[in-house]
Amino acid sequence: MPRSQARVATDRPHRYAKQLAAHLGRKIETNWDEETGLGSLTFGFGTATMTATPDSLLLAVEGDTEHLDRLEDVVGRHLVRFGTKDELLVQWQRGDGTPGTVQRNEESEDEAAS
């Protein structure tokens, strides 16, 4: 099954993963283990895993090719919204080496352009 990965630099990976699981858990099945720093999100059209490291949150999504963009967008967009103050950037890389989608705080991008 096609897969994409992203490494999101942050000094608060546990916090963001927990928040992502709690927020999305209202609509889908989620799991977050604070001790191991591992979590999962189960959508009807694919899955996502979260791994907290000391300086980043590693994300991986897996689903049919036609759903990869959507999986990347849903996970990345929510994470960026939670991390607005930290200006999180999510850049996905597909399993075949091609770039995936990118999620970033649009306000930061607009300010940089002016």
pLDDT tens readout for residues 89-107:
999 999 999 999 999 988 6
Residues near 56 by beta carbon (within 8 Å), at least 6 away in sequence: 7, 8, 9, 10, 13
When the pLDDT of each residue in the chain is averaged and rounded to a whole number, the result is 93
- β-pairing, 29-33 with 99-104? unpaired
Residue 15 · residue 86 · CB < 8 Å: no
* Phi–psi pair at 31, nearest 5 degrees: -150, 135
Select the more confidently predicted residue: 69 or 112. Answer: 69
Question: Which parts of the chain are beta strand (E)?
Answer: 3-9, 29-33, 38-43, 46-53, 56-62, 89-94, 99-104
For a pLDDT cut of 90, what percent of the chain falls above it?
89
Residue 51 · residue 58 · CB < 8 Å: yes
In the chain, what are the domains?
A: 3-113 (3.30.310.50)
